[in-house]
Structure 1
Amino acid sequence: MFGLSEDLKALETSERFIRTGLIGAGQMGTDIVSQVSLMPSQRVVLIADIDLDRAVNAYGIAGHNRECVAVAETLDDVNRARMQDKFVAVGDYRLVTDAPQIDAIIESTGHPEVSARAALRTLFQRKHLVTMSVEMDITVGPLLKWYADQHDVIYAIGAGDEPSALYELYDFATALGLTIVAAGKGKNNPLNRDAVPEDLAEEAARRGLTPEMLIEFVDGSKTMIEMACVANATGLVPDVFGLHGPHVNIAEFKDVFALKSQGGLLSQNGVVDYVIGDLAPGVFLVFTTDKPRLREALILRDMGHGPNYVLLRPFHLCSMEVPLSVAQAVVQGRSTMAPGRRLVAEVVSVAKVDLEPGRELERIGGHTHYSMTDRYENAAAKRALPVGIAKGAVITRPVKKGEIITYDDVQLPSGSVAIRLRELQDRWMAGEIEEPALLQTLNEIAAQNT
Structure 2
Amino acid sequence: MSLIAALRIREAEGRPIRVGLIGAGKFGSMYAAQAHRTPGVHLIGVADLSPPRAAAALARVGWDADRYRARSFGQAASDRTTHITDDAASMIASPHVDIVIDATGSPAAGIRHALLCCEHGTHIVMVNVEADVLAGPYLAERARQAGIVYSMASGDQPALIAELVDWARTVGFDIVCAGKGTRHLPAYHASTPDTVWTHYGFTEAQLATGDFNAQMFNSFLDGTKSALEMAAVANACELAPPPDGLAFPACGVDDLPLLLRPREEGGILAGRGTVEVVSSLERDGRPVFRDLRWGVYVVIEAPNEYVRDCFSQYGLRTDPGGRFAAMYRPYHLIGLELGTSVASIGVRGEATGATTSFSGDVAATAKRALRAGETLDGEGGYTVYGKLRRASDSLREGLVPIGLAHGMTLRRDIAEGDGIGWDDVEYDATRQAIQVRREMEDMFRRRAG
Range 19-28 or range 261-270, more displaced: 261-270
Q: What is the identity, as a one-letter code, of the residue corresponding to 1:216? A: S
Does the 8 Å CA contact 1:68/1:86 hold for their aligned counterparts? yes
1:15 positional shift: 2.9
Partner of 1:90: 85
Give per-residue Cα distances to partners, 1:188-231, cap 9 Å, x unaligned.
35550111111135848357211101110110111111011100
Q: Secondary structure at the match of 2:413?
A: coil
Cα distance, 1:281–1:64 mapped onto 2, change above 3 Å: closer
Q: Does 1:311 align with 2:313?
A: no
Does the 8 Å CA contact 2:51/2:84 hold for their aligned counterparts? yes
Q: What is the identity, as a one-letter code, of the residue corresponding to 1:196? A: T
Partner of 1:148: 143
Does the 8 Å CA contact 1:188/1:279 hold for their aligned counterparts? no
Partner of 1:330: 346
Determine the C-alpha separation between the residues in 2 that align with 1:216 and 1:160. Answer: 19
Q: Secondary structure at the match of 2:139?
A: helix
Unmatched runs of 5 consecutive residues or more in structure 2: 281-290
Determine the C-alpha separation between the residues in 1 that align with 2:302 and 2:279. Answer: 26
1:252 positional shift: 1.5
1:176 positional shift: 1.5
Q: What is the identity, as a one-letter code, of the residue corresponding to 1:257? A: L
Partner of 1:298: 311
Q: Secondary structure at the match of 1:80?
A: coil
Q: Secondary structure at the match of 2:388?
A: strand
Partner of 2:58: 59
Cα distance, 1:361–1:64 mapped onto 2, change above 3 Å: same
Partner of 1:443: none
Give per-residue Cα distances to partners, 1:131-181, cap 9 Å, x unaligned.
111111011101111111111110001100111111111001111121211
1:302 positional shift: 0.9
Q: What is the identity, as a one-letter code, of the residue corresponding to 2:87? A: D
Partner of 2:181: 186
Partner of 2:387: 372
Q: Secondary structure at the match of 2:293?
A: coil
1:186 positional shift: 0.6
Does the 8 Å CA contact 1:70/1:81 hold for their aligned counterparts? no
Partner of 1:437: none
Partner of 1:435: none
1:367 positional shift: 0.4
Partner of 2:287: none
1:85 positional shift: 5.0
Determine the C-alpha separation between the residues in 1 that align with 2:151 and 2:7. Answer: 19
* Match among 182, 191, 198 for residue 195 of structure 1: 191
1:238 positional shift: 1.6
Q: What is the identity, as a one-letter code, of the residue corresponding to 1:429? A: F
Find runs of 4+ consecutive structure 1 residues off by over 3 angstroms.
61-65, 83-86, 188-191, 201-204
Unmatched runs of 5 consecutive residues or more in structure 1: 433-450
Cα distance, 1:81–1:68 mapped onto 2, change above 3 Å: farther
Cα distance, 1:189–1:247 mapped onto 2, change above 3 Å: closer
Q: Does 1:361 align with 2:376?
A: yes
Q: What is the identity, as a one-letter code, of the residue corresponding to 1:302? A: G
Partner of 1:69: 68
Determine the C-alpha separation between the residues in 1 that align with 2:207 and 2:400. Answer: 31
Partner of 1:32: 31
Partner of 1:444: none
Determine the C-alpha separation between the residues in 2 that align with 1:112 and 1:219. Answer: 18
Does the 8 Å CA contact 1:205/1:211 hold for their aligned counterparts? no
Q: Does 1:221 align with 2:191?
A: no
Determine the C-alpha separation between the residues in 1 that align with 2:66 and 2:169. Answer: 50
Q: Secondary structure at the match of 2:45?
A: strand
Cα distance, 1:90–1:297 mapped onto 2, change above 3 Å: same
Partner of 1:237: 240
Q: Secondary structure at the match of 1:373?
A: strand
Cα distance, 1:249–1:320 mapped onto 2, change above 3 Å: same
Identity of aligned residues (%): 29
Determine the C-alpha separation between the residues in 2 that align with 1:114 and 1:35. Answer: 25
Does the 8 Å CA contact 2:184/2:223 hold for their aligned counterparts? no
Q: Secondary structure at the match of 2:418?
A: coil
Cα distance, 1:201–1:187 mapped onto 2, change above 3 Å: closer
Partner of 1:447: none
Determine the C-alpha separation between the residues in 1 that align with 2:181 and 2:314. Answer: 24
| CA RMSD, 1 decimal | 1.9
Determine the C-alpha separation between the residues in 1 that align with 2:62 and 2:221. Answer: 33
Partner of 1:272: 275
Does the 8 Å CA contact 1:241/1:372 hold for their aligned counterparts? no
Cα distance, 1:81–1:5 mapped onto 2, change above 3 Å: closer
* Match among 409, 431, 439 for residue 446 of structure 2: 431
Give per-residue Cα distances to partners, 1:254-288, cap 9 Å, x unaligned.
11111212211122111100111311110111111
Q: What is the identity, as a one-letter code, of the residue corresponding to 2:55? A: V
Cα distance, 1:144–1:399 mapped onto 2, change above 3 Å: same
Determine the C-alpha separation between the residues in 2 that align with 1:306 and 1:206. Answer: 49
Q: Secondary structure at the match of 1:392?
A: strand
Does the 8 Å CA contact 2:378/2:385 hold for their aligned counterparts? no
Cα distance, 1:38–1:85 mapped onto 2, change above 3 Å: closer
**TM-score normalised per structure 2:** 0.91
Q: Number of residue pairs matched?
A: 427
Q: What is the identity, as a one-letter code, of the residue corresponding to 1:315? A: Y
Q: Secondary structure at the match of 1:198?
A: coil
Q: What is the identity, as a one-letter code, of the residue corresponding to 2:36? A: S
Range 121-130 or range 78-87, more displaced: 78-87
Determine the C-alpha separation between the residues in 1 that align with 2:173 and 2:76. Answer: 52
Does the 8 Å CA contact 1:232/1:344 hold for their aligned counterparts? yes
Cα distance, 1:411–1:243 mapped onto 2, change above 3 Å: same
1:240 positional shift: 2.8
1:44 positional shift: 0.9
Determine the C-alpha separation between the residues in 2 that align with 1:151 and 1:161. Answer: 25
Partner of 2:103: 108
1:401 positional shift: 1.3
Q: How does 1:36-55 map to 2 (within 5 A)?
A: 36-55=35-54
Does the 8 Å CA contact 1:348/1:386 hold for their aligned counterparts? yes
Partner of 1:205: 207
